[in-house]
Structure 1
Amino acid sequence: MQDEGRPHQEEEQMLALVKAFEAMMAAGDSKFFDHDDLEMLIEHYLERGSLRKAQQVHHYAIGLYPESLGLQLREAQILAGNGKHVQAIPRLKNLLSFEPRNEEIHLTLANIYSQMHEHKLALHHFRELLSFSDSELKKELFIDVALEHENLGEWKQAIRVLHDALREDPSNETALYELAFCYDKEGRIQEAEAFYLTYIDDFPYSFAAWYNLGNARQRLGKLKEAVEAYDYAILIEDSFAPAYHQKAEALTAMENFGDALEVHKEALGLDIPQPSTYCYMGECLEHLGKLDEAAEYYHQCLELDANFLEAHIGLGVLADLREDHSAALEHMAQALLLNPNHEDTLLMMATILKKMGRHEEADTCLVQLLERNPKHVEAWEERIDNMQALEAHDQALILLDNAFEHVPPTSTTLGYKQFVSLFALRLDGEALRLLDHLLLADFDGMNQLLETYPGLLDDTRVASRYERMKP
């Protein structure tokens, strides 16, 4: 019972100390304060970011205790807090020569070097500390060392240290999350999945392990197994909102939009409403064909964040589905104001402009997209479609030559477009030879082409090839 009241008692003592010192300064008096009390007072102000007050206490304290190493350390910490790292480091190194195993000096130096992006020097001091610190501090130090390796892009070393952290303290949740991040950076997702499965064998009630297992499985495309892992995480910790969000994402990827929507609703009851949640709910409703409800959620998203790009795009898609192309264009234009080079928006805007017969403007959007990403196959397809809609087949063939410089020449979708333009220009021999190859490589592609150009089968040469090659 006495231990339970100690933090409150210490807080009261600190408030009394603060009050006494500030009253003395306000009155312009000079009183005696115990050395340890003054150190505690400086630390109190440093923790709260009150650097000016910490400096004021230090100035007063050093007059009483000019030889104090502890106050010299506080002075270095104040300098570091003010961004004067170059001045702080020599003082700390000098103190270290007197107390080479002082934990606080090593920690202060390590943190200063980390802030200066001198991560190898930070690692030196963190590792020095590991050599003599107690087990409680080691739990934190392993994470500090791992983070410095991450800052250096040394993912393998970070993974090794994080495993050390878990051996020291298997319940270290920070280590579990950082391991997931490092395995992801290394592209070792299968190894991550195997690790979390092994960990769960020993610690089956770790919601963090189940959650990270779900994330690994989702990255591997094991969506059903990912949902199961998220369910276990939620079962253990039903207020852990990230598990709901990730479960909903996995269900959406499975095109299970109804269940995803319900999980998003559950998440709303646990967390401060996020614009992204409302937007994802709008997308689910859009896929379920509930366009009016979808629009409501997109608007709710924009009420929280007027610049949420995906919500503007979503409203544009809804307007396009309703064949209200002018409204769709307005929403896409708003999205482009937020991100002028957003590839999906440029592509959708070009598609809408094409539907409106504004082919030159559509081409301008596609040119802008392809200048940024010349390997964007869908943009090449749309640009060539746009030329073919204008019956500019010579230009379409030139574009196809350009496209094949950037995308695989084995693309049958572009190949069928090439056939259309060759055939339209009466280059029958070349067109029919290409068609023979395409029908062998991708017969279904011909069925898709016939949805746009059903009249192709009126030509007996095309029809006979089509019938002959039918699987």
Structure 2
Amino acid sequence: MEFSQPDDNNNYSLTKFESMLKTNNVLFFDSNEFENIIHHYLENGKVALAKKAIKMGLEQHPTSVNLKLFQTEIYVLEDKLEEADKLLNTLYIVEPLNEEIYIQKANVLSKRGEHQKAINTLTIALDLSIDDTSGSSDLYSLIGMEYLFLDQFENARENFSKCLEIDMHDYSALYNIIYCYDFLSQNNEAINFLNNYLDGNPYCEVAWHQLGRQYFSIKDYDKALAAFDFAIISDDRFVGAYLEKGKVLEKQKQYELAIDNYKITLALDEPTSFALLRIGHCYDKLDKDDLAVQYFYKTVHEDPLLDKGWIAITKFYNKKHNFQKALYYINKAINIDGDNVVYWKLYAQINQRLNFLEEAERGYKRTLDLGNYELQTWLSRTDILIALGEFEAAVLNLIQAAEFYPETAEIEFRLAGLYISLHESQKARYHLKNGLLLNEDYAFIIEELFPKILNKPSFKQMLLDLKKSI
């Protein structure tokens, strides 16, 4: 459906309509006025007001196809697909060549997950709009989106490309084309496409920006830097280009220049937590601790729910061996993202350094529960359980670890020490022998974790016998 551009008449119609709602006086509007009012409310997300306008519009113009099409749009928004279908079938009898009917029908099919049928329906609408280039562009875009739902990225890209053929400044289509290339990991193809596009549109900051991102992906940092510079030349207030340029300069270890670019974004627009965090990391790389932590604090002040900000402060204090502060801030990060393995591992390590063994064990257990099965995580949890005197829990932990890391000397010697402590000499002998066969150099684990065992005559004899038999 086409609509008049917003003008004084439209503003008057809106004012008149809203005044009518307040006074309950029924005023007359022609159908075009209702269409523009409804379109305005839908564009601004005021669905309730749009529904009132549709209801009143149909009361005054009960045969208006366009107003009924707006009704189907509301049905689709509210997932009332059966109602939408019935109304569209009725409208089709009246106006079988109305392309908007096919578009709304495609919306219904798409909502039902019938994306290929939606594409077929949109293709009919495309045939009907052959003389309407702007309408064709919208339809190619809708078809492209349906192909994205089907993960048919080549077909999607082909349709978005047709949008660009109609309007080379359709940046939404441009972004979608690059999205398709990105999903298919076709960076070089994307670079060729963007270079060809820029031949015809050399001052397009969006294309330069996307080209820089592609070069960044393939680690061609010099070309990425040049592309972002061209984006800035095309639009010197393009915040995204300065941010990306800062990232490239960081990769090149030009931290001062990276900071300069990040700070430009703070001057051009509202401060972003991303820019503040990157500035903090740059100062950290330059060993300017006071400035680094200052910007990390600014980051969490700007966005208190950004876990990466809290983790940056945690790592800063951890590096400075200020473990009490590090613990305070790692708890902040975990409260925001309680399923992050890295955070729980850091939580466990900090608690371990503070000798808060119960909390450290809890951290390592949570790390394992979240799927981090690194050998060191199993071993660290075991060693803490041993220190806590939880020998049986330590054994169970190691048996689980052995499923992932069979024939591992570090596991076998720990099991040997644990079984001796639990007075299960046969099992201890079995695992001690395994440890000696796998790597005798790890025998120091017994001395380190179970120092009292070394002085036991029974252990000395067991060790002597095993060494003779191997």
Q: Following the alignment from structure 2 to structure 1, what is the Cα–Cα distance between the partners of residues 70 and 395?
A: 74
Corresponding residue SS for 2:91: helix
Q: Aligned match of 2:127 in 123, 131, 156?
A: 131
* Change beyond 3 A, Cα 1:292–1:35: closer
1:310 match: 308
Alpha-carbon shift at residue 358 of structure 1 (Å): 4.5
Q: Aligned match of 1:91 in 83, 87, 90?
A: 87
* Change beyond 3 A, Cα 1:419–1:128: same
Corresponding residue SS for 2:10: helix
Corresponding residue SS for 2:275: helix
Contact kept, 8 Å, 1:247 with 1:260, in 2: the verdict is: yes
* Change beyond 3 A, Cα 1:73–1:254: same
1:191 match: 189
* Change beyond 3 A, Cα 1:23–1:218: closer
Output aligned runs, 1:89-238, within 5 Å.
89-115=85-111, 117-133=113-129, 134-238=132-236
Gaps of 5+ in 1: 1-5, 435-471
1:289 match: 287
Contact kept, 8 Å, 1:351 with 1:382, in 2: the verdict is: no
* Change beyond 3 A, Cα 1:378–1:192: farther
Q: Following the alignment from structure 1 to structure 2, what is the Cα–Cα distance between the partners of residues 233 and 399?
A: 55
| Identical columns (%) | 26
Q: Following the alignment from structure 1 to structure 2, what is the Cα–Cα distance between the partners of residues 349 and 64?
A: 67
Corresponding residue SS for 1:193: helix
Alpha-carbon shift at residue 62 of structure 1 (Å): 4.2
> Counterpart amino acid of 1:171?
H
Alpha-carbon shift at residue 309 of structure 1 (Å): 0.8
Q: Deviations over 1:402-429 (max 9, x none)?
A: 76865899xxxx99x89999xx999788
Q: Following the alignment from structure 1 to structure 2, what is the Cα–Cα distance between the partners of residues 67 and 357?
A: 79
Q: Larger deviation: 370-379 or 127-136? A: 370-379
Output aligned runs, 1:202-281, within 5 Å.
202-281=200-279
Q: Following the alignment from structure 1 to structure 2, what is the Cα–Cα distance between the partners of residues 356 and 55?
A: 62
Alpha-carbon shift at residue 265 of structure 1 (Å): 0.6
Q: CA RMSD in A?
A: 4.1
Contact kept, 8 Å, 1:375 with 1:407, in 2: the verdict is: no
> Counterpart amino acid of 1:85?
L
Q: Following the alignment from structure 2 to structure 1, what is the Cα–Cα distance between the partners of residues 377 and 39?
A: 60
1:349 match: 347
Q: Following the alignment from structure 1 to structure 2, what is the Cα–Cα distance between the partners of residues 389 and 350?
A: 15
1:333 match: 331
Corresponding residue SS for 1:284: helix
Q: Following the alignment from structure 1 to structure 2, what is the Cα–Cα distance between the partners of residues 163 and 228?
A: 26
Alpha-carbon shift at residue 60 of structure 1 (Å): 4.8
2:459 match: none
* Change beyond 3 A, Cα 1:220–1:396: farther
2:366 match: 368
Q: Following the alignment from structure 2 to structure 1, what is the Cα–Cα distance between the partners of residues 374 and 8?
A: 65
Corresponding residue SS for 1:269: helix
Corresponding residue SS for 1:341: coil
Q: Larger deviation: 186-195 or 262-271? A: 186-195
Alpha-carbon shift at residue 66 of structure 1 (Å): 3.9
| TM-score, normalised via structure 2 length | 0.74
Q: Following the alignment from structure 1 to structure 2, what is the Cα–Cα distance between the partners of residues 25 and 430?
A: 85
Contact kept, 8 Å, 2:379 with 2:411, in 1: the verdict is: no
Q: Following the alignment from structure 2 to structure 1, what is the Cα–Cα distance between the partners of residues 436 and 53?
A: 92
* Change beyond 3 A, Cα 1:207–1:381: farther
Number of residue pairs matched?
421
Gaps of 5+ in 2: 418-431, 443-470
| TM-score, normalised via structure 1 length | 0.74
Contact kept, 8 Å, 1:374 with 1:406, in 2: the verdict is: no
Q: Following the alignment from structure 1 to structure 2, what is the Cα–Cα distance between the partners of residues 181 and 285?
A: 33
Q: Following the alignment from structure 2 to structure 1, what is the Cα–Cα distance between the partners of residues 437 and 38?
A: 88
Corresponding residue SS for 1:131: helix
Q: Following the alignment from structure 2 to structure 1, what is the Cα–Cα distance between the partners of residues 187 and 244?
A: 17
Alpha-carbon shift at residue 43 of structure 1 (Å): 4.2
Contact kept, 8 Å, 2:232 with 2:242, in 1: the verdict is: yes
* Change beyond 3 A, Cα 1:105–1:283: same
1:441 match: none
Alpha-carbon shift at residue 240 of structure 1 (Å): 1.4
Q: Following the alignment from structure 2 to structure 1, what is the Cα–Cα distance between the partners of residues 437 and 267?
A: 65
